[in-house]
Structure 1
Amino acid sequence: MRQRVMRVAVMAVLVALILLATPLALGIQTAFFANKRDELERAALAAAVHVPPFVVGGHVELPPHERGIDVGAYDLSGRLRNGSGPRKADAITREARKGVLVRGRDDHQIVVAAPLSTKEQLIGTVRASSGTAEVWRRIVLAWLGLAGLALAALATAVVVARRQARTLSAPLEALSAKAGAVAGGDFTARAEGSAIAEIDQVARTQNTMVDHLTRWLEHERHFTSNASHQLRTPLAGLQLGLEAAVGDPGADLRAALTEALEQARHLQRTVDEVLRLARAAPLPGAPTTTRPAAEVVEGVERRWHGTFAAEGRRLDFVAEPDGDGLRIPDRTAEQILDVLLDNALRHGRGAIQITVREMGGATAVDVSDEGSLALDRRTLFRRGATTSPAGRGIGLTLARELAETAGGRLTLARSKPTTFTLLLPAAEPPPSHE
């Protein structure tokens, strides 16, 4: 990652330097030659102005000029009268006889020729020239300076690219390490924030994904434990009932099958409730059936009556007058009461009483036995907390979750005698179709 970022940054800087340095180098070359031509033009014009009229065979005086420039005066015949230059006028010098300033190159020289006249009469030409070697020497020196600046810029770009690559790759490497930890099964690994907004957004998205994945896996694990907990007792009852009917030649098979069918329906309702609880979010529009609280509790009491009687314990149901007509979600209430009664059977003692009453516009169902509970109230409903060494710490947690999904609440009302109170919102009776 770091090497890739560095290569991209260095290549971008290199391309930019090439695109910038190439026209700049050409501009330097053009400017140096233009400056030299301007110098030669000034020298030629100065000589043309200051050279006095000469006659045939007369001496010609040339004004002083810069070093490195050859200046010569030619007559109309093309003969060099004074100064330095070719003895015979070249083509550029002869072109100046037309009365115009002429620029050009000849034999690795830059040449400028100007007409020489007096009293509006052309009497000769002035030729100024300089070798291109000196100009190229200056151009090469300027190019070397430009190349040095480009190399310094490239070196600076490498240093900056290395730091930026480290800045960019460090959070990505950390993010990759966290993702690898999650892939390895560590769902507590969370990506840390970054100073780079885009990478920080990716980290937040990954953390959100891991949170959702953790919740889904937790729901999956809870579904397995909840299903095994809720199906254990009904399946055992169904099996015992069928075995008793098969083992008794005089048993009423029709009654046994009817009871088994009722147990199977209850199992189906149990599976539906556990599946509903296992979902991360309830399905929209999922139907919720309600029945009178007394009717629901009576059905639960009938199913559990024989089990408690076999243990020599009494199970009573009481509906207070203000509880008549209150409706509750039947399937949810059945599952919660199954948990509370199973808990009372396994961990409580003495008689059990179920009471239905009205409490502040809600339906309250109390389940009490004659035992006592020493477990801390704050950990009682925590998954894994058990009311006795034989428990698995699932039932009460499941019962509270079921109550909360129905908009209700399950609490420990008293520790001695042990009393649990289930509060469910009172449901409206279904509309009558007349």
Structure 2
Amino acid sequence: MRRRLLSSMLLVAVIAVLLLGVPLAVVVVRLINDEAAQELRTDANRLLIGVEYAVSQQQAINPEQLAKNYPDLFLQVYVRGTPPIVVGTPPPPARELTEEGRSENGYVLVSRDAGQIRQDIQARLVLTIALGVVALGAAIGLATVTSRRLSLPLLDLTKLAERLGSGDARPSRRRYGIPELDLVAEVLDRSALRISDLLAREREFATDASHQLRTPLTGLTMRLEEIVGAAHEPRVVREEGEAAIVQVERLTAVIDELLAAARRQRHAQAAPIDVDDVLGQQITEWEPAFRRAQRSLVLVGDRGLSALGTTGGLSQVLSTLLENSLKHGGGALTINTSSTDRSIVIEVADEGPGIPDTLGQKVFERSVSGAGGTGLGLTLARALVAADGGRLELVKRRPATFAIFLRQVTDSHRHRVVSGPA
């Protein structure tokens, strides 16, 4: 490209020099010849007037004086009343330039050697050619600078595009002072930012998927351990096997939820769900683990509640809260359901030491953990609730109490129950 730009600009410069230089040279030659002829014509008329005046005054015409007055010229005087007068050396016939002056009394011829005029013409032509060469040199320099200024940014943009294609999504932030190239650089920088954002989302999705899949896998492991421990009781084995199947189905649902979240489709999936069914499934799943930890699960509040959301999303949020309580909390864990005019509220609270003051609301930030965890559970839980149009809040630090606010669907078919074991 650089060579093409250079050759194109040089071709344009040569054409411009030729279009301007050739007519200029022709005009210069014509002007010099016309100027020389005009000078000879003026000398002839002046000589004729002087000779006629001398004749009218009956004065003798001195050839030596004429030669002194008109040096380097060949003069021929033919005037009535005087003999012909010839002064000077005649120029060669091939280089002779002659002009005449006429009147009623006669005429004069004034000639000069055209070689000197030709030398003058050659000097002017050489000057014109020299100016053309200087113009071409300037054009070559300008073409070199311009082609370099255009080609180097293009090479830089090519490297940037190649770097983006290889996965390095760092924007260059470089500008070149050329509006068109600066626009291309700006578009590539925006593309780099979008690619970087997409790569970050992919990494977050992989991290979130690994974390969210860990909880159902833990539940499945617990169910399998129950099956192994109750191998001598067929009824228990059957119940635990069915519970393990439920865990596998839940694991599949978790994968679907993660994929839907990655594709930003969770808002379209939100629908009325039965809160009691989700709570019952979670309590059935986690009760053996709490029992082994000598802790209890207690369900209180309103029954028959419906909310807008997704079954998988709410299950994941409750699983995260129950797992955190099992690891970091203590005492009985209470799940309290209630409703307001606008929301369905699910509170999860235990009797443990609570959340340190240094953490507070930071527990929802990514990679923030107070006990050596991954710091992703509550972050993902809040994101899942928000994707369903609700919110997850820490309403009390000691004891730790989390509240899930879901959108209201209906206010009918509800009744109040007294607290008791699940």
Do the aligned partners of 1:109 and 1:129 also contact (CA within 8 Å) in 2?
yes
Instruction: Flag the 1:316–1:13 CA change in 2: closer, same or farther, 3 A.
Output: farther
- The alignment's C-alpha RMSD in Å is 4.4
Residues 427/107 of structure 1: CA separation in 2 closer, same or farther (3 Å cut): farther
Q: Once the two structures are superposed, what CA deviation does each residue of 1:274-298 show, in whole Å capped at 9, x if it has no partner?
A: 112223xx25994433313344333
Aligned to 2:104: 118
CA deviation vs aligned residue, 1:320-377 (integer Å, no higher than 9, x gap): 47x8344333332222222222222222222222223335613332222222112523
Shift of 1:417: 0.7
8 Å contact kept, 2:243–2:285? no
- Partner of residue 345, structure 2: 364
AA partner of residue 231 (structure 2)? D
Kindly indicate whether the alpha-carbon contact (under 8 Å) linking 1:178 and 1:191 is maintained by their aligned counterparts in 2.
no
Alignment of 1:264 with 2:248, yes or no, is yes
Residues 287 and 406 (structure 1), Cα distance of their counterparts in 2 relative to 1, 3 Å cut: closer
1:28-427 alignment runs, 5 A limit: 28-46=28-46, 52=52, 67-73=71-77, 82-84=86-88, 107-112=94-99, 116=102, 118=104, 126-147=108-129, 149=131, 187=169, 189-193=171-175, 195-242=177-224, 245=227, 248=231, 251-252=234-235, 255=239, 258-279=242-263, 282-283=264-265, 286-320=268-302, 324-359=305-340, 361-371=342-352, 372-374=354-356, 375-377=358-360, 379-389=362-372, 391-427=373-409
Cα distance between partner residues in 2 of 1:284 and 1:316: 30
Contact 2:335 2:346 in 1 (8 A): yes
| TM-score normalised according to structure 2 size | 0.74
Partners of 1:28 and 1:142 within 8 A in 2: yes
CA distance in 2, matches of 1:427, 1:37: 111
How far the C-alpha of 1:270 sits from its partner, in A, is: 0.7
SS in 1 for 2:371: coil
Q: How many residues align?
A: 396
CA deviation vs aligned residue, 1:170-198 (integer Å, no higher than 9, x gap): 87787678778767876555414554433
Provide the C-alpha distance between the structure 1 equivalents of 2:315 and 2:234, rounded to a whole number of angstroms.
29
Amino acid at match of 1:226: D
- Give yes or no for contact 1:293–1:328 (8 Å, CA) kept in 2: no
The one-letter amino acid paired with 2:197 is R
Alpha-carbon offset, residue 303 of structure 1 = 2.7
SS in structure 1 at match of 2:273? strand
Aligned-residue offset at 1:160: 6.6
Q: How much does 1:395 deviate?
A: 1.2
- Per the TM alignment, residue 415 of structure 1 is displaced from its structure 2 partner at its CA by 1.5
1:328–1:426 CA contact under 8 A, matched in 2: no
Residues of 1 paired with 2:341 and 2:73: CA distance?
Answer: 115
- Sort the Cα spacing of 1:329 and 1:284 in 2 relative to 1 into closer, same or farther, 3 A: closer
- C-alpha separation in 1, matches of 2:14 and 2:309: 76
Q: Distance in 1 between matches of 2:189 and 2:362?
A: 29
When residues 118 and 271 of structure 1 are mapped into structure 2, their CA distance, relative to the original with a 3 A threshold, is same
C-alpha change, 1:327 and 1:207, in structure 2 (3 Å) is same
- Superimposed CA distance per residue, residues 16-50 of structure 1 (whole angstroms, 9 cap, x where no aligned partner): 44543343233222322222233334444555666
Contact 2:260 2:266 in 1 (8 A): no
Amino acid at match of 1:308: F
**C-alpha spacing 1:211/1:82, structure 2 compared with 1 (3 Å):** same
Higher helix share: 2
Distance 1:325 1:185 in 2: 46
Q: Decide which moves more: 380-389 or 149-158.
A: 149-158
Question: Could you say if the C-alpha distance between residues 366 and 250 of structure 1 is closer, same or farther in structure 2, counting changes exceeding 3 Å?
Answer: closer
Work out whether residues 171 and 188 of structure 2, in 8 Å CA contact, stay in contact via their aligned partners in 1: no
Residues 1:329 and 1:240: Cα distance change in structure 2 (over 3 Å) = closer
Partner amino acid, structure 2, of 1:28: V
Aligned counterpart, 1:98: none
Check conservation: 2:266, 2:388, Cα contact below 8 A.
no
Deviates more, 1:43-52 or 1:306-315: 43-52
Is the Cα contact below 8 Å between 1:383 and 1:394 reproduced in 2? yes
Identity %: 27
Alignment correspondent of 2:25: 25
Q: What's the secondary structure of 1:367's corresponding residue? A: strand
Of residues 249-258 and 171-180 in structure 1, the stretch that sits farther from structure 2 once superposed is 171-180
Q: State the AA in 2 paired with 1:217.
A: L
Determine if contact 1:292/1:327 at 8 Å carries over to the other structure: no
Q: C-alpha displacement at 1:305, in angstroms?
A: 2.6
Greater relative contact order, per chain length (Cα 8 Å cut-off, separation 6+): 2
Gaps of 5+ in 1: 91-105, 430-434
**Distance (Å, rounded) in 2 between the aligned partners of 1:263 and 1:203:** 51
For 2:313 and 2:320, the matched residues in 1 are separated by 11
Q: Which structure 2 segments of 5+ residues have no match?
A: 412-422
Measure, in 2, the Cα distance between the counterparts of 1:23 and 1:201.
43
TM-score computed with the length of structure 1 as normaliser = 0.72
Look up the SS of the partner of 2:355 in the other structure. coil
The answer on whether the counterparts of 1:298 and 1:317 sit within 8 Å (CA) in structure 2 is no
Contact preservation (8 Å) 1:318, 1:356: yes
The question of whether the paired residues in 1 share the 8 Å contact of 2:359 and 2:370 is answered with: no
- Which residue number corresponds to residue 414 of structure 2? none
Query: What is the CA-CA distance between 1:245 and the residue it aligns to?
Result: 4.6
